[in-house]
Structure 1
Amino acid sequence: MAPRHGHHLRVISYNVHGLRDDLAALHHAIKDLAPDVLLLQEAPRRLRWRHKCAALAHSLGLVVAAGGQPALGNLILVDLRVTVKDSGAMRFPHTPGRHLRGAAFVRGLVAGAPFNAVASHLGTDPAERPGHARLLAEAIAERSDPVLLGVDINEEPGGPSWQALLTGRLRDPAGAQPAAPTFPAGRPSRRIDAVLVDERLTVDSYAVVDTPAVRQASDHLPVVADLQF
């Protein structure tokens, strides 16, 4: 990939399935896409999670900005073009018997321009998911700088969780022509992953990546957005 300069940013959202699939294919796919900001779901969150997150970042030529266990497996990695100013995590209210869910947050700068990056993974339970989406939307609304949200919504466009996330200043870059499905990677049929983008940012391109490597790397396909401020 050609290097990006100035106020251009490549953002990827990717559910990496707990790193349980073909790691060589995963590394190849991500390094070939050369993200500036990598928003991961189902990253390491349990035993030795710090070491595993750091090793993943190192293998990709990136650094850990936020996430891991405190963000319940949501992880944000960045390249050295990005200056991290602060970071944090949130956890959504827990429904007994369901997985804990949450989000990772980073406030950063690229070429002096501020932005917020958020990675989140909503639940599979349709009863709890819209409430979590509303809490996430409220947390995003509190941030004054432009926001990039990489999210596994676990729901197809038009559902209540999408509506909750898109009621503020975020928009779906796919627009009127829906992007390709993202899940399951072997035979994609559902679009449940997205990069949602602040209305103040320009989207140069937006795509779901479907190659032999990414079909081996995870049960989800990655979403890539090229943005400028």
Structure 2
Amino acid sequence: MATPATHPLPNSRTEPDGSAVIRVLSYNIRSLRDDEDAAARVIRACRPDFVFVQEAPRFFRWRKHAARLAAKSELVVLSGGATAAGPLLLCSLRATVEHTEDVLLPLTPGLHRRGFATAVVRIGGARVGLLSCHLSLQSDERYAQAGMLLDRVEAMDVPHAIVAGDINERPTGRSFRRLAAQLQDCWTAGPWGGEYTSTPTDPHQRIDAIFATKGVEVLGCGVPLGLPGLTDADLKAATDHLPVLAALRIPASG
């Protein structure tokens, strides 16, 4: 088992060579059915440049709900929401947006529709693709969606990419392993903080993850613990998942 680092997670910055250190957060917010203010406080305490949200509101006035969460979190909406069947991307004003695309995956009758929220952004001298996902509860569909995810990352045609979301499977599962065979599992590459994301009251499994393409340096990744402004009460009140926070160094794209 990987031993988590105890050093503070690096702050966001642009390096003299144009590379960018960024903080990214993956968070299943359960359609904001719990404590929205607590979720916003958790996000703010993590000081992310990008938030990969799962289970964003999808129905009545969903854009208003997404915009309100972004404002409370001191961020802006980048892409996704109902148009991606739940995945959402938030970002800070540090990012320059090149383009966004919401992707709906094939619908299996009787199962929940799934999709990806994607974007290509520049930050410092780095160009990077982003993809927020929430894979199926059904094993065969989940495995197929993992393949579609990898195809989508390839189609983004970017030098580097970050994928994050609720995989609905532990690292030993075949869909998780399919992703980790092509992408860096950031917890494995740079364990930091806590490992288990489900559930906040009884953390016992890692089903949420951040992945990055080869060449991205993982400076630390895990469930944030002990950050200023981050309380155990907020983590338990916000939603039924714990967030995953990573600091990554993205090389300059030239």
**Structure possessing the higher relative contact order (Cα contacts under 8 Å, 6 or more residues apart):** 2
Question: SS of the counterpart of 1:189?
Answer: coil
TM-score by length of 1: 0.94
* Distance in 2 of aligned mates of 1:154 and 1:70: 21
Question: SS of the counterpart of 2:140?
Answer: coil
1:4 to 12, 34, 40: 12
Cα distance change on mapping 1:153 and 1:2 into 2, 3 Å: closer
2:207 to 164, 182, 192: 192
1:228 equivalent to 2:249? Answer yes
1:121 equivalent to 2:134? Answer yes
Decide whether the 8 Å contact of 1:107 with 1:115 is kept in 2.
yes
- AA aligned to 1:202 is E
1:49 to 53, 62, 69: 62
Alignment of 1:17-56 (within 5 A): 17-56=30-69
* Distance in 2 of aligned mates of 1:9 and 1:214: 22
Aligned to 2:166: 152
For structure 1, the 5+ residue unaligned runs are none
1:215 equivalent to 2:236? Answer yes
- AA aligned to 1:222 is P
Runs (4+) of structure 1 exceeding 3 A deviation are 176-179
Q: Between the two proteins, what is the percent identity of the paired residues? A: 36
Q: Deviation at 1:177?
A: 8.6
For structure 2, the 5+ residue unaligned runs are 1-8, 15-19, 226-231
- How big is the alpha-carbon RMSD for the aligned residues of Structure 1 and Structure 2? 1.8
1:120-159 per-residue CA deviation (whole Å, 9 max, x = no partner) reads: 0001111211011111111112233211111100000021
Q: Which segment is superposed worse, 50-59 or 31-40? A: 50-59
Decide whether the 8 Å contact of 1:137 with 1:164 is kept in 2.
no
Q: Deviation at 1:209?
A: 2.6
- AA aligned to 1:216 is A
1:83-117 per-residue CA deviation (whole Å, 9 max, x = no partner) reads: 11100011221111111111100100111310011
Q: How many residues align?
A: 228
Q: Which segment is superposed worse, 201-210 or 80-89? A: 201-210
Q: Which segment is superposed worse, 173-182 or 38-47? A: 173-182
- AA aligned to 1:23 is E
